[in-house]
Structure 1
């Protein structure tokens, strides 16, 4: 019934959110799904059945206006403040986490902490572990950290629709690579690995950073319709989010990011082989600063630039 949900969200776009409006929306949704199911049983395709059921419903905004008029008559017409509206909407749309998700997050966190603790003890010579085993344990711990992030993003919340599994998987991979890079660097300092492992850590950090950036600049608004409506109704300021309105700028920033991090990795390796690995990590600090400056320059246009559009 994806088409039903999409049509209904479009019909309610711009309608001032409130618990009463949400109740009406859910009632309409149930009726539409029931009617669409009847039409599908008669041989109609899911998309055609949803659209026909929606057409039979009539003017949704008129139904909403009637419902709001009834509520106003019952309450004496006293309007809610924006804060009251936001609080009421949040209470109305509260989503409880699934037990399986909570259990998975807890177990993954415990696995991460336990594996890192074992590797630290091995690095401090409390007991002996081969370097290959330590590397495997750190890889598993990084995967557990990535699971926490990816699984959390794929959950339905009170304000966001669940992220698609493929994109959540991208965040899982980016998080895992970044955490792995940091762990490898720390354990080289602890003496668990030879200095050449810095190259592996640097490569993982570059790939993870580039992946995070690409996912970030291509991220769409996952806010629920009622959250977007509240934000539009009570938004203030004059900032202009360029990436939302100019996909080409987002693509250019992604290219700039790849170039910055690849150049940083090359400089990192060169400095590590010449000056020393401890100082070579400053390359990534500089690269991050440059990337943030480029982001600040590209993401927001000034009020004057906005007015020229």
Structure 2
């Protein structure tokens, strides 16, 4: 067993002083050792944030408060009372850690870089203008050539893909910056997805339906790439954000708790959009092309329902998934 007194001498002295005058019974000694373990963990966090060992020990003990409130001085303390004292101590140290994590976030606040803000605004305006021109160009109000429409679809995807990659490369208060290669992958996949979706109405209105295969390949391929990137994504949260989540006992999303669920969602989404793209010409040739966009609407609704089910499904469903994941190798 590791000797607690091998490190943090100041903390052990301060803890002994805090318990001075309290009768040391077996229950009190057990509680003291549990508090000691919590304080050592808290001290390590404070030292990692830049405090000296002495200051970290002093702050950890101060955050604990008056230990007499955590200890039942009646020598007949039973197991239930001891458990209640342990719970009170855990809540006190947890609240102190949450408050400290918030303070750490405030001290390390990252403000957006002016250049990034300017690029985001300009590229977003370009994408919005290209999308408006694309929509108008498909109508008699502003009849544009097919080449111009295809170029506008590409501009929409390129601009918003660049915004996505640029945003992921930025450090924020809560997240570390993403590696450039992975950020570019997200940006390229997002750009191809949006370009494919924007290119689809151009195909339906101006081009032969054979071009629909290219639009579908762009959409399905980009969804697959995004699914892979999401399933292999590592945690970018900074330490104090992770600690806030732990101390507040927040429940993560389904994809955070079960990364494999993100991959399954990508597969479901690819299947949904593949069916939607196949349904477009079927509806067009049978019921008329005016009804073809209903396939997009149905695909979007189905994707949102699947997303809501996987992210916010019942606990029993998620528990069953966890059990299955725990029994597989």
TM-score (norm 2): 0.59
- Cα-to-partner distance string for 1:22-69 (whole Å, 9 max, x where unaligned): xx43648xxxxxxxxxxxxxxxxxxxxxxxxxxxxxxxxxx65x4333
Secondary structure class of the residue paired with 1:228: helix
Asked if structure 2 preserves the Cα contact closer than 8 Å seen for 1:16 and 1:230, the reply is no
Q: How does 1:95-114 map to 2 (within 5 A)?
A: 95-114=110-129
- Name the residue aligned to 1:25: 48
* Structure 1 residue 304: Cα displacement: 5.6
The root-mean-square deviation of aligned C-alpha atoms, in Å, is 4.2
- Cα-to-partner distance string for 1:239-282 (whole Å, 9 max, x where unaligned): 784774574x6555544443443333223333233333342333
Asked if structure 1 preserves the Cα contact closer than 8 Å seen for 2:254 and 2:310, the reply is no
- Name the residue aligned to 1:42: none
Measure the CA separation in 2 of the matches of 1:265 and 1:128.
Answer: 26
1:160 is aligned to 2:183: no
Q: How does 1:194-209 map to 2 (within 5 A)?
A: 194=207, 196=209, 201-209=215-223
- Name the residue aligned to 2:59: 71
The one of 256, 270, 273 equivalent to 1:261 is 273
User: Which deviates further from its counterpart, 69-78 or 268-277?
Assistant: 69-78
When Rg is computed on C-alpha atoms for both structures, the one with the higher figure is 2
1:230 is aligned to 2:244: yes
Bigger RCO of structures 1 and 2 (CA < 8 A, at least 6 apart): 1
Q: How does 1:133-282 map to 2 (within 5 A)?
A: 133-184=148-199, 193-194=206-207, 196=209, 201-236=215-250, 241=254, 244-245=257-258, 247=260, 251-282=263-294
- Name the residue aligned to 1:40: none
Measure the CA separation in 2 of the matches of 1:125 and 1:17.
Answer: 70
Tell me how many residue pairs correspond in the alignment. Answer: 254
Measure the CA separation in 2 of the matches of 1:280 and 1:125.
Answer: 20
CA separation of 1:250/1:133 partners in 2, compared to 1, >3 Å: closer, same or farther? Answer: closer
Asked if structure 1 preserves the Cα contact closer than 8 Å seen for 2:280 and 2:293, the reply is yes
Asked if structure 1 preserves the Cα contact closer than 8 Å seen for 2:124 and 2:160, the reply is yes
Asked if structure 2 preserves the Cα contact closer than 8 Å seen for 1:178 and 1:205, the reply is yes
Asked if structure 2 preserves the Cα contact closer than 8 Å seen for 1:15 and 1:229, the reply is no
- Cα-to-partner distance string for 1:130-176 (whole Å, 9 max, x where unaligned): 32023213312321011111211121111111122232223212322
Asked if structure 2 preserves the Cα contact closer than 8 Å seen for 1:146 and 1:173, the reply is yes
Measure the CA separation in 2 of the matches of 1:133 and 1:307.
Answer: 53
- Name the residue aligned to 1:53: none
CA separation of 1:207/1:75 partners in 2, compared to 1, >3 Å: closer, same or farther? Answer: closer
Asked if structure 2 preserves the Cα contact closer than 8 Å seen for 1:269 and 1:280, the reply is yes
- Name the residue aligned to 1:10: none
Q: Which runs of 5+ in 2 are unaligned?
A: 1-39, 67-91
Measure the CA separation in 2 of the matches of 1:227 and 1:168.
Answer: 21
- Name the residue aligned to 2:73: none
TM-score (norm 1): 0.62
- Cα-to-partner distance string for 1:99-127 (whole Å, 9 max, x where unaligned): 33223223212322343455456556677
Asked if structure 2 preserves the Cα contact closer than 8 Å seen for 1:17 and 1:226, the reply is no
CA separation of 1:282/1:182 partners in 2, compared to 1, >3 Å: closer, same or farther? Answer: same
Measure the CA separation in 2 of the matches of 1:85 and 1:27.
Answer: 13
Measure the CA separation in 1 of the matches of 2:49 and 2:97.
Answer: 22
Q: Which runs of 5+ in 1 are unaligned?
A: 1-13, 29-62
Asked if structure 2 preserves the Cα contact closer than 8 Å seen for 1:159 and 1:227, the reply is yes
- Cα-to-partner distance string for 1:202-249 (whole Å, 9 max, x where unaligned): 444333434333333333321112211221122146x784774574x6
User: Which deviates further from its counterpart, 72-81 or 195-204?
Assistant: 72-81
